[in-house]
Amino acid sequence: MVFPPALHPGSKIAVISPAGYVENEQISKTLDLIRSENFTPVLGSYVTGKRDHGYLYSGSEKERIEDLNWALNDPSIEAIWASRGGYGCQHLLQEFDSTAMLQNPKWYIGYSDNTVLQSKMYQLGVASIHGQTLKTSSFGVSPSSYSSIFSILRGAQPSYSFSVHPSNKPGEVSGRIVGGNLALVYALLGTPYSIDFEGNLLFIEEIGEEFYALDRMLMSLEHAGVFNQISGLIVGGMINMGKENTNPYYEASFDPFAYTLISERLEKYSFPVAYQFPNGHIFDNRPLIVGARYRLDSTHGTLSPEDL
């Protein structure tokens, strides 16, 4: 697994919108934040484009692919930061051009729909950052959600301590971090772009799904044999799950009923499971390095890098 080189003052970070539409004012503060960290944001041609085609995309598939491949292959660009997720990254997989990028690896930063592009990066042997996008969401974002990303860009590999949830399955296990948004992990099953699960630590998070849909995705992972392959599971944010008028925990970052469904589905498996990890569509969205080898201690709530 290749870890892109650390950035230096003045390094250029490409800003692209590979999926949903974003407005200038929704990313202006984070562009200023990048500048305040002594990096230079360079905007893709269609970063604030708009195309209504059953969904508000930032551009046509051709336009979004053009921006992605520019960011991947321009030798002056040292990192790529997605403005947001939404829907549309799957459109880009077949035209993903890694020719020059493999000679000049660079960090790709994003989460949510960006999970599919990070799966592709993993297949190419290049680590990426599953972390906060540039658009500020309705639930806000903690300062550390961004500061931790900048630390990784400068060469750090973070360690984590987090609350021990009552549903945790205790144990210690190692593996490379894979996964991301559960709906996309599920959507890639059976395709050439599916997540590599074997011996790895699977991370999942989700937002806005009905409980039956959550269970359907878990069942598909089970039918695909995923739970027989992974070394451990890390569960992050589960927010806005079910229906607002029937779920008293609708706004909870770590919806307890969603956690109940997951723990019930995993009852027959013995691998360690850690809930309530601070990553996902939540206020405290700490970045994970997809592809980095970590040791999970679900008994004590720690996640420590092993690639140092």
Give the residue numbers marked as catalytic. Answer: 112, 205, 281
Write out the two tokens for 246.
Answer: 């029937």
| Helix (H/G/I), strand (E/B), else coil: 100 | coil
| Helix (H/G/I), strand (E/B), else coil: 33 | helix
In 3D, which of 224, 226, 254, 229 has the Cα closest to residue 239? 254
Q: What letter represents residue 255's amino acid?
A: D
In 3D, which of 80, 108, 131 has the Cα closest to residue 286? 131
| Cα 13 to Cα 71: distance, rounded to the nearest angstrom | 9
Contact 188, 194 (CB under 8 A): yes
Look up tokens 């991947």; give the residue: 72
| Cα 217 to Cα 214: distance, rounded to the nearest angstrom | 5
Distances (CA, A) of 282 to 112, 210, 254: 11, 18, 9
Contact 252, 262 (CB under 8 A): no
Write out the two tokens for 205.
Answer: 């998070």
| Cα 92 to Cα 62: distance, rounded to the nearest angstrom | 9
Look up tokens 């359907």; give the residue: 216
- The conformation of residue 152, written as its DSSP 8-state character, comes to H
